[in-house]
Amino acid sequence: MERVPVLKIGDILLVSIQIDMEDQTALQLQEDLADRIVETGCHGVIIDISALDIVDSFVGRTLATIASISRVLDAETVVVGMRPAVAITLVELGLSLPGIRTALNVELGMALLARERDFEFKDIDDDEDDADEAVVAAS
Amino acid sequence: MTAGDDIAAMETLAIRSDQDVVRVRQLVRTLAVSVKLSLVDQTKLVTAASELARNTLVYGGGGTVAAGRVDNGRRSGIRIVFSDQGPGIPDLDLALTDGYTTGGGLGLGLSGARRLVDEFDIDTAVGQGTTISVIKWCR
Ligand SMILES: Nc1ncnc2c1ncn2[C@@H]1O[C@H](COP(=O)(O)OP(=O)(O)O)[C@@H](O)[C@H]1O
Ligand SMILES: [Mg+2]
């Protein structure tokens, strides 16, 4: 069975799925990611599926499970790079992937994670004024 | 599928492992490209095939797939037949309901696959097995 590598880039874990995964490979990835989140203390996970030409209900469920597991481990997951034909097919299949954050590419995914983390820190620091938040949101 | 349809030679594969499910996806993709299905229709057909192949493996206890080109005089398409000698499906209406699963899945494989193809026929008998035949036509 092939294994999908998990890379640490700064404080983000990046998973780029480059193979047509057997079900067992998808389950292994779920476990590997949970381990790496704990091991590294990363707060963000990006899963790049731009190389996948289909996402069926098994892979869809795996992505949703990864997102839930990471959240419990204090990390946010963003799925990036879904092809248009895959999105159309997923919706017709009946899978709308609720609870999964998405972005169009890795760069936008990283920006999304950075912004969320920023907001989280700001929430703690209450005397931050609204104008500053607006600037962050617009950037 | 009607009596007038002309079926070319079908390719067959055994479905006995996770890896075989990957092979089914690859075979169906190749066939879908060969009859020039649109990218979205290729994606829909491969996704449906992935769902049905997994069901053949997981619920049917393994089986076979046969796939090939079909022509009805006006259009060409791809026909895929999944067969197993497993337990059969006791309540077909229930099994075709979105979200119904006896195996802890998402319950979208059968119902979703039906939406993703143009023709969908099931022949199932308790204790004898299940045969599912699908066709996707070129537009
Ligand atoms: N080939 C089969 N043989 C026996 N039962 C099947 C077969 N395919 C599907 N089923 C039954 O239909 C149910 C729904 O299938 P599906 O929609 O693919 O959902 P899931 O795979 O998530 O359970 C399965 O849980 C199973 O009970
Ligand atoms: Mg299924």
Cβ of B94 under 8 Å from any chain A Cβ? no
Domain A6-138 superfamily per CATH: STAS domain (3.30.750.24)
**Residue A131 in this model has a pLDDT that exceeds 90:** no
d(CA B100, CA A134): 45
pLDDT of residue A137: 46
Q: What is the CATH number of domain B10-137?
A: 3.30.565.10
The span from the CA of B124 to the CA of B122, in Å, is 6
Give A98's pLDDT tier (boundaries 50, 70, 90). Answer: confident
Residue type, B139: R
CA distance A135 to A118: 12
Best probe of the B interface among A4, A93, A95, A97, by most B CBs < 10 A, is A93
Report the gap between the CA of A86 and the closest CA in chain B (Å).
7
> Between chains, do A85 and B42 touch, taking CB under 8 Å as contact?
yes
B108 Cβ inside 6 Å of ligand 1: yes
ipTM of the prediction greater than 0.85, yes or no: yes
State mean pLDDT over A126-134. Answer: 51
pLDDT of B99 > 90? The answer is yes
pLDDT at residue A120 in the model: 76
DSSP string of A86-120? HHHHHHHHT---TT-EEESSHHHHHHHHHHHHHHH
Region of residue B61 (left: phi > 0; alpha: psi -120 to 50; beta: else) = left
For residue A136, pLDDT beyond 70? no
- Please say whether the beta carbons of B53 and B82 come within 8 A: yes
| pLDDT reported for residue A96 | 87
pLDDT surpassing 80 at residue B123: yes
pLDDT greater than 90 at residue A92: yes
Does the pLDDT value for residue B1 go beyond 90? no
Write down the domain spans for chain A: 6-138
Q: Is B86 on the interface with A (CB under 8 A)?
A: no
* Angstrom distance (rounded) from CA B79 to CA B85: 20
